[in-house]
Chain A
């Protein structure tokens, strides 16, 4: 597994909002079922001293990290304050921030990711469902009941599409090491290539599924450099150009990054590309 395990202590930023408190409960339910530490503290400025879903809330990340042994944060803080929250976590010395929030202004994301990088903090997302290592840890909002532990890593720009694929793999008897949602925005903290580098160092992972979309060329960059065998699926082959279909990052501009040409470039690199989701387990079996 990568990015975290049962010993990781997690802080939730935006702990007292609806999203935050609901998911603290869910993450801790999962932690209890696998024997992990789970969410140890929450942060909402101004609500220090309160409690949310059974964990103590602090006014700042530095106070929470000081009081508990935590190295990671899952962030639910909305829009305009989200970039600042990422920087706060990096500044407090956390190693990892999983940014769930969507609709963060892209300029804030650029600055926060650059700042975090300088502080040695890895940012996953934003606009992502988080990550899940079956049997170890859930940092985010992914439903765990569709997953099972095993040798396949999954890296995805999507939310529910990821669950669909994880479900397919589990049903086919193929378990997952870590499922990482890298997020649907045009600027993200960890690209496919970054996460593939981590999987390459992970003894549990033997192959990786990349779930991409139209927009940009991160899937090709990742697949090109991958040390492990990869199987790719690209959503949005029928999306009209210049129209944004939901994800801020799923827009084709300047003639680059439309799904069909991505797929041909990947095939030219000899990377197996599934034309529909149900083909993924078969292609994975071939490379395992």
Chain B
């Protein structure tokens, strides 16, 4: 789950990383009062997690005369189709130099990975393309509580030593908050010292509970409902509803539909131990999507009970055609039940997908 800039900055501040003075403002709150406490000149930043926020008009300079107008305008707008629900009003700071610092996970070594470059303030992917040698990288052994001094010295070669403590404190934040990514871009030096001018934190979805986060904001309503039922659900944009068990098998089903010229409407992994209630929920969920004209159910598993699955499909009673491929126990009973209700059961995944693509034309 992605945290917003002001949330990430609050965490950094608590961890001892200086951030510009600032307060978050929502609709109905008073931007002038907030700005007055900060200073004459401020910057108003839309709190949306989109790339290129500045270029899209989401970061605006203001002063005491126009901060109200600018804030209210931003709060009633969208940046790249994402509605702005809050803005961060911050002091303007005089920047000497912009650096980039991030900590993420290196899958090859299964360790935290620290990236640092003196080419900050721009998209790191662009730097990776145009000036890759300027990016210093180190991995840190996962059992270390601190970034070793030799690693910090390596990262900061040529850059001001005062950035060192920030690296270690960001590492602590990364670990303590179960982060997948902790990024400061830009990390700036100013006459008043070092500041994190922007901050991004992504929290591991598997750790939301222990981080005290009760709900994953990044899900759509349908995705959230699906999660409650124990499935993984992603909306796509087509006519063929897809239900599978197992992420890999479900993705391969979605891929095969596309390969054969069909348009999948979604990805839905119903998870292990599919029982009639779960299957019925899944089928109903897809049945409720307006663009879906046919649904394919592809379930494979030694312990999956095909009669249970068939019962779930029948119970859901959706208007769309349902094409089924089931392998497990009680296959014959499942097939019989489905035949009786006019649903088609096919033997192999490829046959089922081909039939669904045909029906979805």
Contact = CB atoms under 8 A, between A and B. Distances in A.
A188 B106 CA distance: 11
Interface in A92-113: 103-107, 109-111, 113
B107 interface: yes
Given A162-B248, A184-B247, A278-B350, A107 B301 contact: no
A239 interface: yes
Contacts, number: 158
A217 B300 CA distance: 27
B247 A245 contact: yes
A118 B142 CA distance: 12
A161 B245 CA distance: 9
Interface in B270-304: 272, 300-303
A161 B204 contact: no
A235 B110 contact: no
Most interface-central of B110, B302, B303, B327 (chain A CB within 10 A): B110
B264 interface: yes
B267 A245 contact: yes
A157 B248 contact: yes
Nearest to A243: B234
A197 interface: no
A164 interface: yes
A15 interface: no
Contacts of B255: 235-238, 259
Interface in A110-160: 110-111, 113-115, 118, 142-146, 156-160
Interface string B319-351: 000000001000000000000000000000110
Interface string A75-97: 00001100000000000000000
A18 B115 CA distance: 43
B247 A164 contact: no
A189 B142 CA distance: 13
Contact of B107 (A162, A216, A245): A216
Interface size of B as a range = 35 or more
A34 interface: no
Nearest to A233: B252
A254 B180 CA distance: 13
A228 interface: no
Contact of B246 (A103, A158, A254): A158
B349 A277 contact: yes
B111 interface: yes
Contact of A143 (B112, B256, B302): B302
B108 A114 contact: no
Interface string B59-76: 000000000000000000
Given A79-B206, A245-B234, A255-B125, A110 B105 contact: yes
Given A114-B111, A187-B105, A239 B248 contact: no
Contacts of A114: 110-111, 141-143
Contact of A187 (B110, B256, B267): B110
Nearest to A189: B110
Contact of B269 (A162, A246, A259, A278): A246
B282 to A, nearest CB: 13
Given A114-B142, A145-B302, A277-B349, A160 B249 contact: yes
Contacts of A218: 107-108
Given A105-B207, A163-B301, A186-B107, A246 B252 contact: no
Nearest to B223: A243
A46 B268 CA distance: 38
Most interface-central of B178, B246, B250 (chain A CB within 10 A): B246
Interface in B231-278: 232, 234, 236, 244-252, 254-259, 264, 267, 269, 272
A250 to B, nearest CB: 6
28 contacts: A80-B209, A80-B210, A103-B206, A105-B178, A106-B180, A107-B175, A107-B204, A157-B248, A160-B245, A160-B248, A184-B248, A186-B107, A187-B105, A214-B251, A233-B252, A235-B249, A235-B251, A235-B252, A235-B255, A236-B251, A240-B236, A246-B269, A248-B206, A250-B251, A254-B124, A259-B255, A276-B350, A277-B349
Given A216-B108, A217-B108, A235-B252, 5 more contacts: A106-B178, A159-B247, A187-B105, A246-B232, A246-B269
